């Protein structure tokens, strides 16, 4: 099987949308790899899993499923048969019975991480100043403007739902740990990657490397796709 027969499905996390993957999509295309960005409503974990499954139904052939941040919980919760491998990008990977909140708050909070609280609708927005301070401190001014403008809030219910048996117990996984992440502790990322028996790729990148270090992210995805295509 050639790598062109394996598709990448890219899943955004909180305070983002599919456009956060645009640089990675372009780079995968130059290597002949098809990709789809799955839109999540960020309204509940179950809603997000259902939305991902609808995207996966539209993709023919084997898939490498990629999740950023919160989306790690989403990609680990699908049961789609066409998913052959998982790639976690500075992501959260709760184990069975854990919630996103359990792993997000496991380690020490970075001093520049924002204080998060829901609004009157139960939605959590990222303060505008947090994009430059913690979400993507390596981004350009223009990139930060876009990230702030397209941010989508996440519902409190997304982070409080316990997950079932995660797919990473049954599929090979890769984990890009972000050494300069100010949103999710790098130590927490490494802890999760180790217990998953993931192939760990550590880089000195911020929380949103799809935007600020797209080559690094693309390389890990391609590595996973090559492994799937070699079977």
**What is the CATH topology of the domain spanning 3-229?**
Rossmann fold (3.40.50)
Per-residue pLDDT of the chain (231 residues; tens, 9 = 90+): 778 799 999 999 999 999 999 999 999 999 999 999 999 999 999 999 999 999 999 999 999 999 999 999 999 999 999 999 999 999 999 999 999 999 988 878 888 889 899 999 999 999 999 999 999 999 999 999 999 999 999 999 999 999 999 999 999 999 999 999 999 999 999 999 999 999 999 999 999 999 999 999 999 999 999 999 988
Q: What is the pTM of this model?
A: 0.97
> What three-state secondary structure class fits 87?
strand
Instruction: Say if residues 163 and 195 touch (Cβ distance below 8 Å).
Output: no
Degrees (nearest 5) of the Cα angle 4, 86, 90? 115
Q: Residue 34, Cβ neighbours under 10 Å: how many?
A: 17
The number of C-alpha atoms within 13 Å of 214 and in the hemisphere containing its C-beta is 14
The sign of the CA dihedral 92, 97, 99, 105 is negative
């Amino acid at each position: 099987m050639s790598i062109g027969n394996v598709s990448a499905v890219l899943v955004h996390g909180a305070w983002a949308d599919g456009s956060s993957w645009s640089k990675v999509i372009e780079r995968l295309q130059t290597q002949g790899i098809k990709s789809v960005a799955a839109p999540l409503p960020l309204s509940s974990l179950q809603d997000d899993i259902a939305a991902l499954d609808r995207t996966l139904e539209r993709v023919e052939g084997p898939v490498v499923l990629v999740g950023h941040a919160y989306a790690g919980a989403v990609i680990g919760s699908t049961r789609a048969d066409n998913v052959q491998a998982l790639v976690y990008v500075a992501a959260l990977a709760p184990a069975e019975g854990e919630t996103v909140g359990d792993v997000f708050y496991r380690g020490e909070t970075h001093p520049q991480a924002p204080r998060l609280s829901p609004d009157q609708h139960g939605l959590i927005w990222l303060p505008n100043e947090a994009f430059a301070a913690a979400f993507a401190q390596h981004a350009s001014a223009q990139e930060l403007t876009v990230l702030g403008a397209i941010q989508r809030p996440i519902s409190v219910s997304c982070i409080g739902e316990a997950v079932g048996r995660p797919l990473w117990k049954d599929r090979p996984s890769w984990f890009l740990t972000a050494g300069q992440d100010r949103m999710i502790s790098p130590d927490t990322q490494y802890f999760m990657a180790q217990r998953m028996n993931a192939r760990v790729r550590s880089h000195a990148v911020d929380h949103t490397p799809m935007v600020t270090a797209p080559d690094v992210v693309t390389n890990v995805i391609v590595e996973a796709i090559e492994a799937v295509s070699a079977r």
